[in-house]
Amino acid sequence: MTEKTLVTWHQQTVKRERGCVVWFTGLSGSGKSTVANCVDALLQDAKANSFVLDGDNIRHGLSASYEILEPVHGEDFAKRFGLGFGAQDRQENVRRIGCVAEIFCSSGTIALTAFVSPYRADRDRVRELVTAPGEAKDFVEVFVDTPIEICEERDPKGLYKKARAGEIKGFTGIDAPYEAPLNPEVHLDGAKPVEEIAQQTIDFLKSIGKLS
Q: What is the mean pLDDT of the chain?
A: 93
Core vs surface per residue 171-193: b (16+ CB within 10 A) or e: bbbbebebeebeebbbebebeee
Give the per-residue pLDDT at 15.
Answer: 66
Q: Which of 156, 175, 78, 163 is nearest to 118 (CA)?
A: 175
- Dist CA 154 CA 54 (whole Å): 18
pLDDT of residue 6: 74
pLDDT, residue 24, reads 98
Query: Residue 18 above 90 pLDDT?
Result: no
Which residues are identified as catalytic? 117
Query: What tens digit of pLDDT does each residue of 96-124 get?
Result: 999 999 999 999 999 999 999 999 999 99
CB 69 within 8 A of CB 62: no
127, 141 in Cβ contact below 8 A? Answer: yes
Buried b (16+ CB within 10 A) or exposed e, 63-75: bbbeebbbeeeee
**pLDDT the model gives residue 2:** 66
The pTM for the full model equals 0.91
Asked which of 12-26, 31-45, 57-71, 157-171 is least confident by mean pLDDT, the reply is 12-26
Structural domains in the chain, sorted by start: 20-207 (3.40.50.300)
CB 46 within 8 A of CB 151: no
Answer whether 159's CB lies under 8 Å from 99's CB. Answer: no
Query: 87 vs 24, 84, 148, CA distance in Å?
Result: 19, 9, 20
Pairing mode, if any, of strands 139-145 and 50-54?
unpaired
pLDDT at 135 over 70: no
